[in-house]
Structure 1
Amino acid sequence: MSGEAGFDREFVLGELIAARDADELCAQLTPVLGAPVALLDATGAPFGTAAEPPGAIRAPLVLELEPLAYLACACDAAALKAAARVVRWGLLSRARFRMVSDLHLEAVRADYAKLQQQNEALRASEAKYRELAEALDAKVKEQVRIIDERQRQLYQAERLASIGQLAAGVAHEINNPLGFVTSNLSSAERYLAQLEALREYVPAERWKTADMDFVLEDFAELISDSQQGVARIARIVRDLKGFSSVDKPDVQLANLNEHLESLFAVIAGQKPAGVTLESELGPLPPLTCLPGHLNQAFLNILQNALQAVDQHGTVTLRSSATDTHIIVQIDDDGPGIAAEVLPHIFDPFYTTRGVGGGTGLGLTVARDVVLTHGGTITADNRPEGGARFTVELPL
């Protein structure tokens, strides 16, 4: 199959999504559309375990001008059509990924065939053989580097998905008892008012002996402190969910500033007391991205900046936009990056910290996430001192 033929190929539904993923997709869309949802293939047959609901209408998922599949649901037609557009986008992304993978495989096969021809020619000359062997060795090393990078990206994607699931479970488990405590504190406030009303019915001497004035005053302060603590826990859970994007689909149209604000709230609890965090967030257009992955990338850069300033200094987060890109800058006023370190700062496992001070993968992961979004990340020293990391993401 030629590269052009691979690029023009037509996919069937089963090549882009597994049956278990189809079941999960239908389960997630059901509460959104308010009715059971089924995924049908191009022939109208159920794909997965969900059967077409009675009285359902269908919304086609069109890929390359032909319906690849249908969403079936007995719900509002406009809502179903909107859901189909979102699902189609995901299928289109998977189709493009498959096409790129096929093209890459064909390119590797073509390179391998070319190397075989060169190997035959090498037999005529020992000098020529050595020269081409060195070139082959360089290509193999580059392929190994690319494979290692892809494996690292896949590992990071799985790790981020696990973090999201963990955060969702933690948030759910905390929210339930949090509701009980909030309700009980409200009841305690009402009971306190009733206790205060007993003053006129209790003999003054007994009231004074029991020191009830102090008890009631202290009880009110205890309730107030507890309510503030509950509110703080609720805010932490909200920031955690916002940071991990656990309540949203993987790919979405996001306001990056909202995620940066949640990230700032999360990392504020990690900074030393002498470090100042500042943010200068400018207006940004919506960005189609994987917010959880970008959050992890920016978290890694911010943690690196916090380590650079150590116990005293300032870390500043800025965001702005041009006609074509969103720009995020993270500055610190630490010692800056040494000239011999700067070329290697994004290399896997490269670290200037001592044993136990880090894995050397934080900035590598940040670079991989940014590259996955089609963006760029650079590191430089600022003229006024300290380091600056700049991330540019295409709109």
Structure 2
Amino acid sequence: MEAGFDREWRIDELLDAATLGRTMNALTALAGGELAVLGADGGALWGRAGEDMARHPLVLELEPVGQLAGRGVAAERLAGAAALLQQLMRVQVRYKMASSLHLEAVAEDYESLRREHLKLQESEARYKQLSAQLEVRVKAQVALLEERQQMLYEAEKLASVGQLAAGVAHEVNNPLGFLRSNLSTFRHYLTQFAELKKRLAEGDAAWQALDLDFVLTDGEELLDECIKGGDRIARIIGELKSFSHVDHSTEEYYDLNECLRHAANVIDGQLPAGVELRLELLPLPGLVCLPGHLNQVFLNLMRNAGQAIADARRPGVVRVSSEADDDWITIRIRDDGVGMTPEQRSKAFEPFYTTRPVGSGAGLGLSSARNIVLAHSGRIELDSRPDAGTTVSLFFPVPRK
């Protein structure tokens, strides 16, 4: 039965049979007579009650809850025993009330914790739902970014191809120009020989009049120039083929100096006016690599160096050097151009970051270069100061024998 502050207590609720028995045995010994405990209804709770027994009320909270009966016990002793029994019951009331308060407090705390737990479960469910939605959105954004990044990479490649094509067109157009001019002139010379056929009767006078001695000499020179022009075109095509490595899509053992020379030959005709390219190459051990990819890296870095010098609005030199020790192959591309501020240098390898004007670059040159170098187990470093130039250093591990 639940305890309360304003309820009526019964003796058997406060004192169980064992406790009541021990208590009454002690009180009987003290009283020196026979005792019995009666409930509020007059029924005996302990001992044998008789009509001839004196009785003393047991009062709690001003209301009698039973009686203490005695036979052969002095009235004052009976009253004292009743007082002790009442005090014991009051202690039990306080204990039960305190216990009830504790249980109520625990129950209230438990209920409060249960409510908080339910709230936490609801919050967790919402967070899980939001997390799932966020994950879906993040995946969608990552996919979109990857798609856009791939598009920019492709755009950068197309831009490089376009610049390469423009350079190739310029290089090939020169020999084609004098080939056409020379062949046109030589055709005129053949016309003069055809005229000679008509004037063979005039003999040496006709030969001199048509100036055929000059025609023979100049014709040989024209043909030599045409042959050199054809060889030059063949060399340009060969350089392009070697640069792009269209016939080699897998890794191979290659000399990086050859990659640097191919890139230099391709970029040489595309550098801005006043920019000189110098190669300072030392012997290197072979490296297992994708030459076509490294060619593109070297070409982009040389082009960046040339643009940095052009932006400085003064003549300058792009120096390309190579060296090797027991552990590393080192390639350095230096320029004496505009250089970079510390803030620009800290962002130089971030995708899509560029110091070029809008429309002049996608900001993928150094980012792509770093990715390609890392794919070859190498590393790339950047040293630059404003108006003092930039040095890009690439390190590749020497193959172990």
Question: What TM-score, normalized by structure 2, do the two folds share?
Answer: 0.51
Work out whether residues 339 and 388 of structure 2, in 8 Å CA contact, stay in contact via their aligned partners in 1.
yes
1:385 offset after TM fit, Å? 2.3
- Counterpart CA distance in 2 for 1:354 and 1:154 is 16
1:323 CA drift (Å): 2.2
CA contact (8 A) 2:337 2:387 kept: no
Which amino acid is the alignment partner of residue 324 of structure 1?
D
Show the 5 A alignment for 1:232-243.
232-243=232-243
Where 1:319 maps in the other structure, the secondary structure is: strand
Contact in 2 for aligned 1:153/1:365 (Cα 8 Å): no
* Partner residue in 1 for 2:395: 392
Please give the alpha-carbon distance, in whole angstroms, between the structure 1 residues aligned to 2:231 and 2:251. Answer: 31
Alpha-carbon distance change, 377 to 147 in structure 1, aligned in 2, over 3 angstroms: farther
Q: Give matches, 1:284-295, under 5 Å.
A: 284-295=284-295
Task: Name the structure 2 match of 1:206.
Answer: 206
CA shift, 1:153, in A, is 11
Partner amino acid, structure 2, of 1:318: S
Aligned to 1:92: none
Determine the C-alpha separation between the residues in 2 that align with 1:240 and 1:318: 22
Judge conservation of contact 2:252–2:289 (CA < 8 Å) in 1. Answer: yes
Corresponding residue for 1:148? Answer: 146
Which residue does the alignment assign to 2:347? 344
Distance in 1 (alpha carbons) for counterparts of 2:376 and 2:144:
17
The within-5 A match list for 1:1-395 is 123=121, 144=142, 148=146, 152=150, 203-310=203-310, 312-381=315-384, 385-394=388-397, 395=399
Distance 1:348 1:276 in 2: 29
Amino acid at match of 1:329: R
Q: Distance in 2 between matches of 1:300 and 1:294?
A: 10
The superposition leaves residues 19-78 of structure 1 with CA deviations (integer Å, 9 ceiling, x where unpaired) of xxxxxxxxxxxxxxxxxxxxxxxxxxxxxxxxxxxxxxxxxxxxxxxxxxxxxxxxxxxx
Letter in 2 for 1:213: D
How far does the alpha carbon of each residue in 1:153-203 deviate from its partner, in whole angstroms, 9 at most, with x for none? 9966x969x97xx99xx9xxx9xxx9xx9xxx9xx9xx99xx8xx999971
* Structure-2 separation of matches of 1:342 and 1:121: 50
Contact 1:239–1:266 (8 Å) recurs in 2: yes
Shift in alpha-carbon separation, 1:202–1:337, aligned structure 2, 3 A: farther
Q: CA contact under 8 A between 2:341 and 2:386: conserved in structure 1?
A: no
Query: What amino acid sits opposite 2:372 in the alignment?
Result: V
CA RMSD of aligned residues (A): 4.6
Measured in 2, the distance between the counterparts of 1:212 and 1:300 equals 52
- In structure 1, what residue type is equivalent to 2:219? F
Letter in 2 for 1:373: H
The one-letter code sitting in structure 2 at the alignment partner of 1:259 is: C
Shift of residue 382 of structure 1?
Answer: 6.0
Quick check: which has more Rg, 1 or 2?
2
Query: Structure 1 CA distance, aligned partners of 2:357 and 2:152?
Result: 28
SS in 2 for 1:355: coil
Cα offset, 1:152, TM superposition: 4.0
Give the letter for the 1:356 counterpart: G
CA shift for structure 1 position 221: 2.2
Kindly provide the amino acid, as one letter, of the partner of residue 233 in structure 2.
Answer: I
Q: Could you tell me which runs of 5 or more consecutive residues in structure 2 were left unpaired when the two chains were aligned.
A: 1-117
Distance 1:361 1:202, change over 3 A: farther
What is aligned with 1:103? none
Q: 1:154 to 1:288 in 2, by over 3 A?
A: farther
Q: 1:202 to 1:244 in 2, by over 3 A?
A: farther
Q: Deviations over 1:292-327 (max 9, x none)?
A: 011111111111101000162010111112322221
Distance 1:246 1:375 in 2: 24
- Describe the superposition over 1:248-298 as per-residue Cα deviations: whole angstroms up to 9, x where unpaired: 342111111111111111111111231111111122111111110111111
Change (3 A) 1:151 1:334: closer
CA distance change for structure 1 residues 348 and 122 in 2, over 3 Å: closer, same or farther? Answer: farther
Give, as a single letter, the amino acid of the residue that structure 1 aligns with 2:235.
R
Structure 1: any 5+ residue segments left out of the alignment? Answer: 1-119
1:387 partner SS:
strand
TM-score by length of 1: 0.52
Q: Which amino acid aligns with 2:239?
A: D
Cα separation, 2, equivalents of 1:351 and 1:258: 29
Q: Aligned residue pairs: how many?
A: 247
Alpha carbons 1:242, 1:262 under 8 Å: kept: yes
Taking the aligned partners of 1:309 and 1:366, their CA distance within structure 2 comes to 20
Distance between the aligned counterparts of 2:246 and 2:395, measured in 1? 24
SS in 2 for 1:340: helix
Distance 1:145 1:275, change over 3 A: farther
Seen in structure 2, the aligned counterparts of structure 1 residues 123 and 296 have a Cα distance that, compared at 3 Å, is farther
Helix, strand or coil: the match of 1:217?
A: helix
2:340, 2:385 within 8 Å by CA — same for their partners in 1?
A: no
Supply the distance in 1 between the matched residues of 2:151 and 2:247 (Cα, whole angstroms): 23
Partner letter of residue 146 of structure 2? D
Q: Is the alpha carbon distance of 1:150 and 1:355 closer, same or farther for their aligned partners in structure 2, counting shifts above 3 Å?
A: closer
CA 1:230–1:347 in structure 2 vs 1: closer, same or farther (change >3 Å)?
same
Distance in 2 (CA, whole Å) between partners of 1:144 and 1:375 is 27
Change (3 A) 1:151 1:361: closer
Q: Distance in 2 between matches of 1:121 and 1:298?
A: 61
Asked if the contact 1:153–1:368 (Cα under 8 Å) also holds between the matched residues in 2, the reply is no
